[in-house]
Amino acid sequence: MFEFDQYLGFLAFLTILTIGFWLMVFLLTFVVPYWIGGALLERFQEIKEEKKAKREAL
């Protein structure tokens, strides 16, 4: 059976594993899509402004 030190080590391992799992779930479902969507939106706005500047230059 486990001794107390081994039990604490096992609990620490499970805690770190669980935190890592939920962090990856959070990053892949919320942070990365938000980051990509914001970058695309910003790029589209830049393209729109470039077209507007070219039209005004003519």
Find the mean pLDDT for residues 13-31: 97
Distance CA 58, CA 42 (A): 25
CB count within 10 Å of CB 39 equals 10
Checking if the pLDDT of 2 tops 90, the result is: no
What's the whole-number mean pLDDT along residues 44-48? 98
> Residue 2: which residues within 8 A CB-CB, separation 6 or more?
10
Determine the Cα–Cα distance for residues 38 and 40; give it in Å rounded to an integer: 5
Q: What percent of the chain has pLDDT over 90?
A: 91
Predicted local confidence at residue 3, as pLDDT: 93
Residue 1: pLDDT over 80 = no
